[in-house]
Amino acid sequence: MLRVEKLSTEYPNEYGQIVKAAQDVTFEVPEGKLFTLLGPSGCGKTTTLRSIAGLERPRVGEIAVGGQVVYSSSKNIFIAPNRRGFGMVFQSYAIWPHMNVFQNAAFPLEVRSKRRSRKEIEEQVMRVLRAVALDHLADREATKLSGGQQQRLALARALVMQPPLLLLDEPLSNLDAKLRERMRFELKRLQRELKLTTVYVTHDQSEALALSHEIAVMSEGHIIQIGSPRDIYERPRNKFVADFVGTTNFLDGVITAIEAEEGYCRVRTEVGELKAYAADTPRVGKKVALSIRPEDIELSEERQEGVNVWQGTVDAKVFLGEYLDFQVKLKERLLLARVHPSLKTPVGKPIYLRMNPEKCIAIEEPAASTSAENAPVAAVAPKVQSYAG
């Protein structure tokens, strides 16, 4: 439905230097799916979205929606933003303060060149307001809405034109944590019920994982990896993706053997030899980084059967209600494990760790990596404070 091909966007900064905001960006979004551009500030995700909207003019590339090319450098095509007919919701909802809820939602229909009857407009607006659960507030002043209601009103205003494509740029960032979580469910419900083809921009990993059919992780203007939320989280293809999406432990090592079981290998690390799953085809002698999520390290006071079982010492722990974060010392390394709070092993006592080989992801170290990937990474992302128990 949406096709973005080899898109590159550049602009001069305040010092006259050329900033390569998006470089060789290519992806497709099938009809009715939600596709997320995820990455840190300055990675090029918003520039890519604005290029799709027509608010930025790329240097090269092509953008097509539903088979219609809206931008092409080679064909010299650039359709103005107001003629693309896309729905857009940004961080600032831009609600008209002098209008009530109905008037705000109806505004795009009333200014459109093709005139509609008052009855047609009213029916369409009320249908959209019902979809976002604001129909009972149609006569309320927009300034008297809560943050979540204003967000839904901005969404209703974008949907009322029945756009072929919905573009969302961090629309939940201005909401408090609980409301943001609730609005994720609302957005997901609306997107799937109305079958909206959507491109969503965020730096919030949990938001991307919760909402998306597919995620593109961006860094320094480039797409680093595209995949389903589960693939991105469980099968990161480099250290940047593993470290940016969620919390992980890293162990540096070298592949020493290839297992008969396809995709698996043996990796020599500073804590010992581990069986791991290789994100790429494993090769003996290749340097890798093992990524192991905290929830994939099983802890127990009794030694378990199987491979990748080691004895360590509880260095610190933090009670977080639904789970406990254990910092476990294994030889000279500290590993973070996330477990059920029923585990009561005190600080300073021995404990056994088991790391499922399927969840130990061996990521090949590139010969020349980006600065983001080459930066030093701590063994444990968060600082774990002591909890006596």
Q: Are residues 63 and 76 in the same domain?
A: yes
Helix (H, G, I), strand (E, B) or coil at 342: coil
Tell me the average pLDDT across 267-279: 94
**Is residue 209 included in any domain, yes or no?**
yes
Residue that terminates a domain, selected from 212, 234, 256: 234
137-167 pLDDT, tens digit each: 999 998 899 888 888 898 889 888 889 999 9
Co-location of 194 and 282 in the same domain: no
Task: Look up residue 293 and give its two tokens.
Answer: 């999520």
Q: How far apart are CA 183 and CA 363, in angstroms?
A: 35
25 contacts 4 by C-beta, under 8 angstroms:
yes
Whether residues 323 and 367 fall in one domain:
yes
Question: Of 39, 70, 64, 54, which Cα lies nearest the Cα of 9?
Answer: 54
In sequence order, the 6+-apart residues with CB closer than 8 A to the CB of 172 are 151, 180, 183, 184, 187, 202, 204, 207
Q: How far apart are CA 216 and CA 38, in angstroms?
A: 6
What pLDDT, in 10s, does the model give residues 297-307? Answer: 999 999 999 99
Last residue of a domain, one of 234, 253, 276: 234
Q: Which of 143, 158, 134, 139 is nearest to 97 (CA)?
A: 143
Number of domains present in the structure of the chain: 2
With a cut of 80, say whether residue 69 has pLDDT above it: yes
Q: Is 385 within the bounds of a domain? A: no
328 exposure class (CB count in 10 Å sphere: 0-12, 13-18, 19+): buried
pLDDT at 361: 97
| Residue 221 sits in the same domain as residue 296 | no
The Cα 146–Cα 163 span in angstroms is: 26
Q: State how far the Cα of 48 lies from the Cα of 71, in Å rounded to an integer.
A: 13
pLDDT digits (tens, 9 = 90+) for 87-146: 998 877 778 889 999 999 998 888 765 677 888 889 989 988 988 889 999 999 988 998
Q: What is the CATH number of the domain that holds 96?
A: 3.40.50.300
Same-domain check for residues 112 and 57: yes
Check if the beta carbon of residue 279 is closer than 8 Å to that of residue 364: yes
Same domain, 243 and 230: no
On whether both 199 and 331 belong to a single domain, the answer is no
> Which among 168, 203, 234 is the end of a domain?
234
pLDDT for 372: 39
What's the CA gap between 139 and 192, in Å, rounded? 28
The answer to whether residue 224 is domain-embedded is yes
Q: Are 271 and 190 members of one domain?
A: no
Q: Are residues 70 and 219 in the same domain?
A: yes
- Within a domain: 130: yes
- Which of helix, strand or coil describes residue 5? strand
DSSP class of residue 247 equals -
Report angle CA 99, 100, 101 to the nearest 5 degrees. Answer: 125
The residue among 97, 92, 104 whose CA lies nearest residue 175 is 92
Task: Say if residue 327 is in the same domain as residue 243.
Answer: yes
Q: Going by DSSP bridges, is the β-strand pair 166-169/198-202 parallel, antiparallel, or unpaired?
A: parallel
Q: Considering the entire predicted model, what is its pTM?
A: 0.86
Has residue 73 been placed in a domain? yes
CATH of the domain at 297: 2.40.50.140
Position 114 scores a pLDDT of 64
User: Whose structure tokens read 């009857």?
Assistant: 117
Residue 384 located in a structural domain:
no
Q: What tokens does 275 get?
A: 């069986």
Query: Are 364 and 249 in the same domain?
Result: yes
Boundaries of domain holding 281: 239-374
Within this chain, do residues 225 and 246 fall inside the same structural domain, yes or no? Answer: no
Can you give the pLDDT at residue 367?
52
What integer is the mean pLDDT of 361-376? 57
- Considering the chain, what percentage of its residues have pLDDT values greater than 70? 93
Residue 46 near residue 169 (C-beta atoms within 8 A): yes
Query: What's phi and psi for 187, nearest 5 deg?
Result: -60, -45
